[in-house]
A and B are shown apart, each in its own frame.
Chain A
Amino acid sequence: MNEDFEPTIVAFLCNWCSYAGADLAGTSRMHYLPNVRIIRVMCSGRVNPLFLLNALQQGADGVLISGCHPGDCHYLEGNYYARRRFVLMRKLLEHVGVDPGRINMSWVSASEGAKFKDIIEKAVEGAKESGPMEQFKRRKINW
């Protein structure tokens, strides 16, 4: 494990639970590592599995999806879809040789600031163990 290596983690958080949980971690001044960059979506069900692939292609060393706990989805069942898609995508990524330690999913409710901090630390640790993500490195893509 390369201790000096500072991985970049791209996190997709649902607006209602996990993004609110991340906000709560802030309001409660819980310090966590600055390696994570958050993208807000309305529902974890919005996270197209290709977003994960895309983030890894761009050079992110780890990805995270987080949504409401099962049964709590603001849109009733989006988190179930997210979970199914995630499982498939992780299998696929593992299949092509991506370390599963880079690919994270966790439920975080609006009241779980502390849990959010924990999963960030875990995601950073996982990515550190896997080392810099070089597999998909390619020329810069322009959108």
Chain B
Amino acid sequence: MESTRPKIGVYICHCGINIAGVVDVEAVTEYASKLPGVVVSRNYSYMCSDPGQTLIKDDIREKGLNRVIVASCSPRMHEPTFRKALAETGLNPYYLEMANIREQCSWVHEDKAKATEKAEKLVEAAVAKVLLLEALEEKEVDVTPACLVIGGGIAGIQAALDIAEAGFKVYLVEKTPSVGGHMAQLDKTFPTLDCSACILTPKMVDVANHPNIELMTYSQVESVEGYVGNFKATVRKKARYVDFDKCTGCGICAENCRLLNRIPSEFDEGIGMRSAIYLPFPQAVPAKYTIDPERCLQLTKGKCGKEGPACKASCQADAVNFDQKDELLEIDVGTIIVATGYDVFDAKRKHEYGYAENPNVMTGLEFERLVSASGPTGGKIIVGRDKKGEGGFEPKKIAFIHCVGSRDKSLGNEYCSRVCCMYLAKQAHLIKDKLPDAEVTVFYMDVRAFGKGFEEFYDRVRREGIRYIRGNPSEIYKKGDDHALIVKVEDTLLGTPMEYEADLVVLGVGLEPRQDVREIIDLFKLSQSTDGFFLEAHPKLRPVDTASDGIFLAGCCQGPKDIPDTVAQAKGAASSALTLIARGKVKVEAQVSAVNADECRGCGLCVEVCPFGAIELVETNRQGNIVNVASVNEALCKGCGSCASACLSGAIQPKSFKDEQILPQIAVLGVRTE
């Protein structure tokens, strides 16, 4: 294959005493010097150091080496370092092979003789392989200077704004009719108690007005193709049945809707009502009405009252349009940020707490809507109202329960949701603020006040006369006919069982992966961690990257977090996306698969197994016959090599991991040493 004779240099690293303390490096050097093709074999204290690298580079230049073996630590550690050294001399960086004699030899074996013998074998296998390596070309592709952000919660909003501010195009796609996500539903935010709407609304308005942001609400990504730098996404803009440009957001339509106050409002978590034509909440962005196609009489039954739809009749801007259709839009972007957020734990799954049966057992998120001045009660703490929003009572004894659906293996959620301790402390404070005479008790397992200002806040709340009792309730049930609820719990600090009587119980529901998480996984081929949230590329060093290049994560879709952490991660994701966009070019994997067209049978097995859709069959002329031959799209191929194991003729092979490069390694390593 290569006409020039191989001239191999072997470099054995001592790594201080990390390797040399166990492996006899002199013996390995000696052994290597006798292997075929080896012209120089040396050892040195730290090969990765500057003098170590210079040693290699000088030999390449002076002795005309054309292959290099470094026997040292794991290639996962220093392969890029030594590749760079080769490249600096003008030698192709893919003529390097490493033998891992530290992590997989000196650090794990004690018997010096055996470790040395193993190191020799590993070096010999590397020599066998390096003889057959080929020069590879690192290709660069252009990056489309635009980003697709999916999810318009605070994470998506922040990421979109950062990228837009840097001067690049952003498509922000939000599933619901308004941006804002869960943060828009919150009243005050811990630990500073700033009003959520006050800090969020300006940002919501900014994303709608920014010249670089194309906001697509009530929309969903249908499909994505392509690869880092060049994604093509199809977005479905669902019909709102309201002309976006004509609607002034005045709200007269909703007031005239025959279903006014008859449909539970998603935004108000079902404790408030809306009409079929609606704005999710007063500060919604965009301030455009939407008709709920599942509830609207005209759309479901084809008929609304005797006189026809009142919304349409009452709209002075003539914006209501029942003939509107979904629109499909194609967009080209270079990077993607997934910021799809979370769902709260479904409290019905914790049967013992009687959430489904008792209206005065509510979730923390419902409570946010209850205390919010923009909520259905105008911020008054009144529970047990009827469907018309009448009646109800003001609670006197309120119990807050920690860890509902978190840290609970029986429900499949082993993890801590990270926000509940603090939001319950905040809510306990808000109750005390509004109802100073109420008795407020918090039942907790542990209080995790880890963030900046959290411990101080928790301390302040306790000093306000809020009682914290350590215990995880076993049951919550109704007592008698009035509002009284019994919280059955053991105070684990005193070791005494107790039955606490309350007339309002707030469940500190945890954060869970969204119910529809599969949609996103299938779309972007993301992986999940054991907790079901999206998996980052590395838990410490690549917390916003995914295993798919060019796709980043922001916010709670990656795991539960509070707003400050969400914003920080969103900024991280934005900066990662910007790095690619600003550079304008991205290197694509050089170790991709290649097809030997003469040997390909055109069976298509490789096409079937390729997880990236990188292979297709193309017609070619083989000595006058038109035949199908596999062809690899190098930009899509990630070099896993699954195709090669499926191929019956061995025609398709991943570069640097070809059969003919691996078999010689097996031939060396498979031989038993007597």
Q: Which residues of A contact B109 (CB under 8 A)?
A: 31-34
Q: Is the CB of A76 within 8 A of B645?
A: no
Residues of B304-345 at the interface with A, using a CB-CB cut-off of 8 Å, are none
Interface residues on A, range: 35 or more
Contacts A26-B107, A34-B118 given; indicate if A8 touches B671 (C-beta within 8 A).
Answer: yes
CA distance A43 to B654 in the complex (A): 11
Partner of A39, one of B102, B527, B639, B662: B662
Shortest beta-carbon distance, B262 to chain A, in Å? 43
Q: Which residues of B contact A30 (CB under 8 A)?
A: 108
Contacts A39-B662, A72-B535 given; indicate if A47 touches B638 (C-beta within 8 A).
Answer: no
Contacts A10-B669, A55-B670, A58-B670 given; indicate if A40 touches B75 (C-beta within 8 A).
Answer: yes
B169 within 8 A of A: no
Q: Which residues of B contact A85 (CB under 8 A)?
A: 645
Instruction: Kindly supply a per-residue 1/0 record for chain A positions 17-59, scoring 1 wherever the CB is within 8 Å of any chain B CB and 0 otherwise.
Output: 0011011011101111110011111110111110100111111
Q: Is the CB of A76 within 8 A of B611?
A: yes
Shortest beta-carbon distance, A33 to chain B, in Å? 8
Q: Is the CB of A37 within 8 A of B125?
A: yes
CA distance A27 to B107 in the complex (A): 7
Partner of B657, one of A41, A61, A81: A41
Q: Across the two chains, which residue of chain A brings its CB closest to B107?
A: A26
Shortest beta-carbon distance, A24 to chain B, in Å? 8
Q: Which residues of A contact B74 (CB under 8 A)?
A: 19, 23, 26
CA distance A38 to B126 in the complex (A): 11
Q: Is the CB of A46 within 8 A of B672?
A: no
B673 within 8 A of A: yes
Q: Is the CB of B76 within 8 A of A39?
A: no
B178 within 8 A of A: no
CA distance A135 to B657 in the complex (A): 28
Q: Which residues of B contact A47 (CB under 8 A)?
A: 645
Contacts A34-B118, A49-B645 given; indicate if A26 touches B102 (C-beta within 8 A).
Answer: yes
Shortest beta-carbon distance, B554 to chain A, in Å? 21
Q: Is the CB of A8 within 8 A of B100?
A: no
Q: Is the CB of A45 within 8 A of B645?
A: yes
A141 within 8 A of B: yes
CA distance A106 to B645 in the complex (A): 18
Q: Is the CB of A23 within 8 A of B671?
A: no
Q: Is the CB of A10 within 8 A of B666?
A: yes
A7 within 8 A of B: yes
Instruction: Kindly supply a per-residue 1/0 record for chain B positions 72-112, scoring 1 wherever the CB is within 8 Å of any chain A CB and 0 otherwise.
Output: 00111100000000000000000000001011110111110
Q: Which residues of B contact A56 (CB under 8 A)?
A: 670
Q: Which residues of B contact A82 (CB under 8 A)?
A: 645
Q: Is the CB of B664 within 8 A of A59?
A: no
Q: Across the two chains, which residue of chain A brings its CB closest to B525?
A: A76
Q: Which residues of A contact B525 (CB under 8 A)?
A: 76
Contacts A15-B76, A27-B103, A78-B611 given; indicate if A41 touches B108 (C-beta within 8 A).
Answer: no
Query: How many B residues touch A, CB cutoff 8 Å?
Result: 54
Residues of B610-662 at the interface with A, using a CB-CB cut-off of 8 Å, are 611-612, 638-642, 644-646, 654, 657, 659-660, 662
Q: Which residues of A contact B673 (CB under 8 A)?
A: 8
B250 within 8 A of A: no
Shortest beta-carbon distance, B412 to chain A, in Å? 15
Q: Is the CB of B657 within 8 A of A59?
A: no
Q: Which residues of A contact B535 (CB under 8 A)?
A: 72
Q: Which residues of A contact B110 (CB under 8 A)?
A: 31
B547 within 8 A of A: yes
Shortest beta-carbon distance, B214 to chain A, in Å? 30
Q: Across the two chains, which residue of chain A brings its CB closest to B109?
A: A34
Most chain A CB atoms below 10 A, which of B110, B642, B644, B662 = B642
Q: Which residues of A contact B609 (CB under 8 A)?
A: 45, 81
Partner of A55, one of B638, B639, B654, B666: B666
Q: Is the CB of B639 within 8 A of A42?
A: yes
Instruction: Kindly supply a per-residue 1/0 record for chain A positions 73-85, scoring 1 wherever the CB is within 8 Å of any chain B CB and 0 otherwise.
Output: 1111110011001
Q: Is the CB of B642 within 8 A of A74?
A: no
Most chain B CB atoms below 10 A, which of A8, A22, A41, A42 = A42
Instruction: Kindly supply a per-residue 1/0 record for chain A positions 55-73, scoring 1 wherever the CB is within 8 Å of any chain B CB and 0 otherwise.
Output: 1111111000000000111
B426 within 8 A of A: no
Contacts A29-B108, A34-B115 given; indicate if A58 touches B666 (C-beta within 8 A).
Answer: yes
Q: Is the CB of A74 within 8 A of B108?
A: no
Residues of B510-536 at the interface with A, using a CB-CB cut-off of 8 Å, are 525, 527-528, 535
Shortest beta-carbon distance, A55 to chain B, in Å? 4
Shortest beta-carbon distance, B670 to chain A, in Å? 3
Q: Which residues of B contact A8 (CB under 8 A)?
A: 669-673
Partner of B104, one of A23, A71, A78: A23
B41 within 8 A of A: no
Q: Is the CB of B114 within 8 A of A34?
A: yes
Partner of A81, one of B107, B122, B612, B646: B646
Q: Across the two chains, which residue of chain B brings its CB closest to A54?
A: B666
CA distance A10 to B528 in the complex (A): 31
Shortest beta-carbon distance, B583 to chain A, in Å? 24
Instruction: Kindly supply a per-residue 1/0 record for chain B positions 177-197, scoring 1 wherever the CB is within 8 Å of any chain A CB and 0 otherwise.
Output: 000000000000000000000
Q: Is the CB of A43 within 8 A of B665?
A: no
Residues of B117-144 at the interface with A, using a CB-CB cut-off of 8 Å, are 117-118, 121-122, 125, 128
Q: Which residues of A contact B103 (CB under 8 A)?
A: 22-23, 25-27
Q: Is the CB of B118 within 8 A of A37?
A: yes
Q: Is the CB of B527 within 8 A of A72?
A: yes
Q: Is the CB of B645 within 8 A of A141?
A: no
The 10 A-B pairs at the shortest CB distance, nearest first, are namely A26-B103, A58-B670, A46-B641, A45-B642, A75-B640, A43-B640, A26-B107, A37-B669, A60-B670, A76-B611
9 A–B pairs (Cβ distance < 8 Å), ordered by A: A10-B666, A38-B104, A45-B640, A47-B645, A48-B644, A58-B666, A73-B527, A74-B547, A78-B611
A23-B77, A48-B645, A75-B640 given; 18 more Cβ-contact pairs under 8 Å: A15-B76, A23-B100, A29-B107, A32-B108, A34-B109, A34-B111, A37-B670, A43-B641, A46-B657, A56-B670, A58-B670, A60-B670, A60-B671, A74-B640, A75-B612, A76-B611, A78-B641, A81-B646
Residues of B that sit less than 8 Å from A by CB: 74-77, 100, 102-105, 107-111, 114-115, 117-118, 121-122, 125, 128, 525, 527-528, 535, 547, 591, 609, 611-612, 638-642, 644-646, 654, 657, 659-660, 662-667, 669-673
Residues of A that sit less than 8 Å from B by CB: 6-8, 10, 15-16, 19-20, 22-23, 25-27, 29-34, 37-43, 45-49, 51, 54-61, 71-78, 81-82, 85, 117, 132, 141, 143
